[in-house]
Structure 1
Amino acid sequence: MSERKELPGWRWGPFTFRLPFYHTKLCWSEFLQGLMVSAATGLALVPIMTAFFGFSFEEAIALSMIHAFLIASAVIVFGEPYAGGWITPALPLILAFVIGGYEDPSSRFQAMTALTLVFASLVFILGITGLGRKMVIWLPDTLKAGIILGASIAALKRVFIDDADKFLLEQPIATTMAVAVCLIFTFSIPMQKLKERNRFFLMLGALGLLPGFLVAAMIGPLVGEVNFDIEWGFMVPPLAEAFAKASPLVNGWPTIEMLAQSIPLALIAYIILFGDIVTGNEVLRDGMAVRKDEHIDINLNRTHYSLAIRNAAMAIVAPFFPTQGAVWTGVHVIVVQRWKQGPKAMGSLHSGLASYYLMGLPFIYFLLPLMTGLKPLLGIALSLTLVLTGFACAYIAMSIPKSNASRGTVVLIGAALAFFEPWIGLLIGVVATLTMVGWDRNADPIPHD
């Protein structure tokens, strides 16, 4: 049997830079999926930026482009073997904290800066000391499940209550149809069985959020909820204007109080992040059992360092937490599945990942027809992201507790985190776990790490 070989690249410290088109080759299937899915999903925050952070549509596009650059750098610059993405379950909790706790766009961006800097510092410390794994093992299952359910409740609350008038109620039919299609293709048990029998449905399901977008794009105009005003030509995203509104170098640095208030949320985000990394590693190990020809370097310390650097850079240039996570699980699974098909399907996993992130070239943000075409669908994109996050977090959270007392406590913790300030919710969670269940930690929550 031939020895496993790692794809070459230029080493710098613990990282490996792989130059697109030189070290990594273009994989057209992943490139085209990235062109469609990454563009639509990556712009889901644009409605939030325009509604609550004082950005124009063009400025929000510019900020999203910076986030896309940083996410692509995880694969290309740092050599990470994961499809990078947001820490999505933390998003609704963070929006509730920032939008609910601060009135003007300037202070909201300062709060985002505080969150991102605290998180970057936390990840670096937990990575360099090795305490991250120990902390996640030490946490009780009931508290972890409560945190995940809190993200679920906060996500659904934002869509159906807090911001319903801005997003859901403006496009009710198109949004409902898009959400229904995505829920069915992603989570439905009958649909999973149909995918096993029918290749067409299998391929359609592999496109992630795209089928939901296509349904919204077709039904929306018919019911008068979507009006396309597509402009032709090229757009130059106003990076300087976005930087001036968002960056703490211009906008001002967060206060000590903001930094202190960010600590509970940073801890919650880290717990969710670590779960994503464990999931990503298990997917890679499953792939390596089939692909004996390529060595994939899984390095937890390197992942922590790259996360710390990316989040610190984002905090200074374009603060919007939590867009710099480790693993976009859905995309990660899709790319690894094709990698498992052998060298003819995908020469290297790193080539497939780099292709999905468009080889780090953000040309889609300069295509005016694409940006203006997506504009009326972005509220739907945000609703889709939050509802799917809420559904996934709910079933993950409810699968963890093993007793009725634990299940009831999980719901209590979830509600506390969704409706109160993060530190109050976390305090209620700790007290409720201790008094109702005890410190029910799993001695081996990461069985293969």
Structure 2
Amino acid sequence: MQHQRTAGTEQPGWRWGPFTFRLPFYHTGISWPEFWQGIFVAGATGLGLVPLLVGYFGLSFEEAVACIFIQSMLISSAPILFGEPFAPGWITPALPLAIAFILAVDSGGNPVYGTPEAKFQMMTAVSLNFAAILLFMGATGLGHRFIRWLPDALKSGIILGAAIAALMRVLMDEKKELLLKQPITTTVAVSICLILTFSLPVQQLKLRWRWLAKFAGLGLLPGFLIAAIVGPLVGEISYKEAIDSIGTNFDDIILIPPFAELYQKVSPFAIGWPSAEMFLDGLPLAIMGYVILFGDLITGAEVLQMAQPDRQDEKIVIDVNRSHFSLAIRNALMALFSPFFPTQGCLWTGVHVIIVQRWREGRQAMDSLYTGISSYYVFGVPLLYMILPLLYGLRPLMGIALSLTLVLTGFACAYVAMGISKTPIERGVALLTAVALVVFPNPWVGMSVGIAATLLLVGLPKRDPDPA
């Protein structure tokens, strides 16, 4: 039986330290529209990392799914275990920067991190660095001041670097595993998602056609659906493996993720801890991730504050320090058991907006914000990753999923970065910083170029005193 709240108060839960645990089906109910969207949209989007984990990190398909399974459970813990009022997700703009960094080659064309073990050790180092930054900023409350102090040109350069890195990974991937492997299907899927998400004419049509707004609100799912239909028609996708996998035995239907095998390949307890040099080399990437993350925190809070007047029956408590602490814990755990920076962020903007929009329609639409978020994240259990026929059916689409994620990230980062810089000089510095971050394998070099260019060409920012 669901625990009821008193009107105008916070949704009940069990307090532990600064956090609140809300037990599904007791403290929160179920919202079916979010539940079914979450199974397919959240699950299929997470599977976009499988090609990377298999192709570059040496995991088997099943081990890659197990890795994403752990990451998904950690993401889901944000609203359920820690009581965060945001729909969590990756720090998506940092993803292409992390991929470019971990797959970098030296001047001789040799990989900087040549073995799967070295790659996972580097991911562990960056993730632990990131957790330490979060813990420090949360404990001291310096996060807001740090972001205010950071020059616009440098912020813009970091985000523009993510845009360039994302598009290069799709269009210029040296292994040709993204666009060139499924060119027609990928192009159609990416075009559909770009149009539905960013097209100004379509934005006007959404106001007139409610069905179009709902369809576009499904995020990457429309692109997946259309790719699933177009791919077989043009001969770029086959579902033979999925059809052949269908059987009556339990082992043919349910995947028991191979967590033990994954542990032996990725955990620092099994493969060894990163060196001090790795921690130092990965620090700039962690700092860049924090800059992007703080923008997500501000965005998530703003969306909730705009909606709160429509839901006087439920009080939403936003605590930035609590968010820092919960993110630090999640990233530290991820670093130890499924290291892949930056998969533990605070906000999936599109999903957050969709859930909050339904929540603000009233209690009859969604009893509690936490009911909607918990339902979308399938109450912490990523069911899709355990159903083998569905996994095999989605397997041919996983490269397209990664392409969709990267292209939409690149496009969004590009226009955000251009909006941050206010003058032509700042835009020039941003471009110089972005290219340096992408070209040089060591992020210290790119950051140094950006800092030097900012100081010499723009100067230090003149900020108004912090009201806090």
TM-score (norm 2): 0.93
Which residue of structure 1 aligns with residue 144 of structure 2?
A: 133
Does structure 2 conserve the Cα–Cα contact (< 8 Å) formed by 1:53 and 1:105? yes
Which residue of structure 1 aligns with residue 208 of structure 2?
A: 197
Task: Map Cα deviations across residues 361-414 of structure 1 (whole Å, 9 max, x no partner).
Answer: 222211111111110000000010000000000000001112111111111111
**Within-5 A mapping of 1:9-408:** 9-100=13-104, 101-163=112-174, 165-228=176-239, 229-230=241-242, 231-232=245-246, 233-408=253-428
Task: Map Cα deviations across residues 15-59 of structure 1 (whole Å, 9 max, x no partner).
Answer: 000000110100001001101101110111000000000011111
Secondary structure at 1:81's aligned position in 2? coil
Query: What amino acid does structure 2 have at the position aligned with 1:98?
Result: I
Q: C-alpha distance in 2, partners of 1:254/1:423? A: 18
Q: C-alpha distance in 1, partners of 2:175/2:200? A: 29
Change (3 A) 1:20 1:253: same
**Within-5 A mapping of 1:429-440:** 429-440=450-461
> How far off its partner does 1:441 sit?
5.3
Q: C-alpha distance in 1, partners of 2:465/2:60? A: 48
Q: C-alpha distance in 2, partners of 1:325/1:123? A: 11
Query: What amino acid does structure 1 have at the position aligned with 2:304?
Result: L
Secondary structure at 1:162's aligned position in 2? coil
RMSD of equivalent CA atoms: 1.4
Does structure 2 conserve the Cα–Cα contact (< 8 Å) formed by 1:139 and 1:441? no
Q: C-alpha distance in 2, partners of 1:332/1:75? A: 12
> How far off its partner does 1:419 sit?
1.1
Task: Map Cα deviations across residues 2-27 of structure 1 (whole Å, 9 max, x no partner).
Answer: 96210000000000000001101000
Query: What amino acid does structure 2 have at the position aligned with 1:174?
Result: T
Q: C-alpha distance in 1, partners of 2:254/2:337? A: 24
Query: What amino acid does structure 2 have at the position aligned with 1:430?
Result: I
Aligned to 2:449, which of 428, 434, 443? 428
Task: Map Cα deviations across residues 151-177 of structure 1 (whole Å, 9 max, x no partner).
Answer: 101111111113461121110000000
Secondary structure at 2:103's aligned position in 1? helix
Q: C-alpha distance in 2, partners of 1:62/1:163? A: 27
Q: C-alpha distance in 1, partners of 2:238/2:465? A: 53
* Structure 1: gaps spanning 5 or more residues: none
> How far off its partner does 1:111 sit?
0.3
Task: Map Cα deviations across residues 268-316 of structure 1 (whole Å, 9 max, x no partner).
Answer: 0000000000000000101102111111110011100000000111111
Secondary structure at 2:399's aligned position in 1? helix
Does structure 1 conserve the Cα–Cα contact (< 8 Å) formed by 2:149 and 2:461? no
Does structure 1 conserve the Cα–Cα contact (< 8 Å) formed by 2:39 and 2:382? no
> How far off its partner does 1:81 sit?
0.3
> How far off its partner does 1:213 sit?
0.5
Which residue of structure 2 aligns with residue 417 of structure 1?
A: 437
Q: C-alpha distance in 1, partners of 2:372/2:175? A: 38
Query: What amino acid does structure 1 have at the position aligned with 2:73?
Result: F
Q: C-alpha distance in 1, partners of 2:256/2:465? A: 51
Secondary structure at 1:88's aligned position in 2? coil
Query: What amino acid does structure 1 have at the position aligned with 2:180?
Result: L
* Structure 2: gaps spanning 5 or more residues: 1-5, 105-111, 247-252
Q: Which stretch of structure 1 is more off in the superposition, 164-173 or 142-151?
A: 164-173
Secondary structure at 1:308's aligned position in 2? helix
Task: Map Cα deviations across residues 227-248 of structure 1 (whole Å, 9 max, x no partner).
Answer: 1121231111111111110100
> How far off its partner does 1:444 sit?
8.0
> How far off its partner does 1:438 sit?
1.6
Q: C-alpha distance in 1, partners of 2:310/2:418? A: 32
Does structure 2 conserve the Cα–Cα contact (< 8 Å) formed by 1:72 and 1:360? yes
Query: What amino acid does structure 1 have at the position aligned with 2:286?
Result: A
Secondary structure at 1:425's aligned position in 2? helix
Q: Which stretch of structure 1 is more off in the superposition, 92-101 or 266-275?
A: 92-101
Does structure 1 conserve the Cα–Cα contact (< 8 Å) formed by 2:43 and 2:382? no
Does structure 1 conserve the Cα–Cα contact (< 8 Å) formed by 2:34 and 2:375? yes
Q: C-alpha distance in 1, partners of 2:148/2:14? A: 35
Query: What amino acid does structure 1 have at the position aligned with 2:191?
Result: A
Does structure 1 conserve the Cα–Cα contact (< 8 Å) formed by 2:327 and 2:345? yes
Q: C-alpha distance in 1, partners of 2:462/2:165? A: 25
